[in-house]
Amino acid sequence: MLDRISLILVIVGAVNWGAIGLFQFDIVSWLFGGQDAILSRIIYTLVALAGVWCISLLFRENEVLTRAAHDGDITDM
């Protein structure tokens, strides 16, 4: 569940950065009262923490597949 929430927050961050890059428009600050608003800062912080958490996804997928193959859950194709 934490992986999915983190992924959603990373997607929100990516869309926000896309809007900043393409249109010079910060969606998060627009929705939550500016970059200095406490709610915007909380969202920015949550997105950053989610990005750090998602780094673990790069390594865990291989561990899960390896464990499943070792347990016989994955058959050769």
Quote the domain boundaries for residue 6.
Answer: 2-71
Q: How far apart are the first and last CA of the chain?
A: 30
Residue 77: inside a domain: no
Kindly state whether residue 76 falls inside one of the protein's structural domains: no
| Location of structure tokens 């998060």 | 28
Number of domains present in the structure of the chain: 1
User: What local confidence, expressed as pLDDT, does residue 58 receive?
Assistant: 86
* C-alpha span between 64 and 47 (Å, rounded): 25
Question: Is residue 14 domain-resident?
Answer: yes
In the predicted structure, residue 67 carries a pLDDT above the cut 60: yes
Rounded to two decimals, what is the model's pTM?
A: 0.73
Residue 33 lies inside a defined structural domain of this protein: yes
Is 25 a domain residue? yes
Among 41, 49, 1, which Cα is nearest to 28's? 41
Domain annotation covers residue 38: yes
What tens digit of pLDDT does each residue of 1-60 get? 899 999 999 999 999 999 999 999 999 999 999 999 999 999 999 999 999 999 998 888
Asked, for residue 31, whether it belongs to a domain, the answer is yes
pLDDT at 76 over 90: no
